[in-house]
A and B are shown apart, each in its own frame.
Chain A
Amino acid sequence: MHDHERVGDGSVDHGAATTGAASGRRGLGRALGWAAVCGYAWWAVGLAPFSSAASLAVVLAGGTAAVLGSRARRPAASPADRRRTAPWLVLVAAGAAVQLAAYLQHPRDDHPTLSSLTNALLDSHVARAAAFVAWLVAAAELARR
């Protein structure tokens, strides 16, 4: 092998190593970020219900997720026309009507609302923490749009 070939190979390897290290650092940073979010979620859903600390922990985290999402907003695309989005509007209205009809009637066992069903689903600490993380991700995603 000639000298210039060796030099060339070395510089390519060095560049690849640098790119690999930067990518590794980004991956590590992302993993640490997710670990922090999961740890926070685990802590936040363990706070006493109806307490100011729980309110603050939830609202601050949700607000932060919304702010971070809005800072990374997607470029505005031309919105879909109303005829194409109308079915979703009808569906949301139907869902709201079912929810409202259940909410206005008692007892709750016979007329479950979405939140009473959710409470039953989120019985364990793990499920609540996972739902909290999903809620944060959705808040950031909503703000990105």
Chain B
Amino acid sequence: MTRTLTLLGYAVVAAAAIGLEVAARRGMCATFGQALSAAVHRRPVRLLLIAGWLWLGWHVFVRVDWQ
């Protein structure tokens, strides 16, 4: 049950992201790309996001035992 709840949480967030992007294309809010551009407009945020992305790649592709 708890696994289902957690997966449901992720699914709701993913569905909301799709809904938000659709609403954004109709001019109701910023698209994901516009929001990202607004966030990286500030240099520290930009550097932090790039560093976070590099860490994520390291976490996913290195810190995993595929066997």
Spot the interface stretch: A12-20, A26-34, A44-52: A44-52
Tell whether B38 is near chain A: CB-to-CB under 8 Å: yes
Q: Are A138 and B34 within 8 A (Cβ)?
A: no
Tell me the chain B residues, 1-17 only, with Cβ under 8 Å from chain A.
Answer: 2-3, 6-7, 9-10, 13, 16-17
Beyond A50-B65, A66-B50, whether A111 also contacts B58 by CB under 8 A is: no
User: Which residue in chain B gives the minimum CB-CB distance to A114?
Assistant: B10
Q: Are A80 and B17 within 8 A (Cβ)?
A: no
A/B pair count, beta carbons within 8 Å: 126
Tell whether A8 is near chain B: CB-to-CB under 8 Å: no
| CA gap between A59 and B34 in the complex, in Å | 27
- The 0/1 profile, CB within 8 Å of A marked 1, for residues 13-31 of chain B is 1001100100000000110
Q: Are A62 and B7 within 8 A (Cβ)?
A: no
Tell me the chain A residues, 42-71 only, with Cβ under 8 Å from chain B.
Answer: 44-45, 49-51, 54-55, 58-59, 62-63, 66
Contacts of A77 in B (CB 8 A): 37
Q: Are B37 and A58 within 8 A (Cβ)?
A: no
| CA gap between A94 and B13 in the complex, in Å | 7
Q: How far is the CB of A34 from chain B (nearest CB, A)?
A: 19
**Which of A62, A85, A112, A122 contacts B35 (CB under 8 A)?**
A85
In the A-B complex, the 4 residue pairs with the smallest Cβ-Cβ separation, listed nearest first, are: A79-B38, A98-B9, A88-B35, A84-B30
* Apart from A49-B64, A85-B34, A135-B53: 16 A-B pairs, beta carbons within 8 A: A51-B62, A62-B54, A79-B37, A80-B35, A85-B38, A86-B29, A88-B32, A94-B16, A105-B2, A110-B6, A112-B3, A118-B60, A123-B66, A128-B61, A135-B60, A142-B53
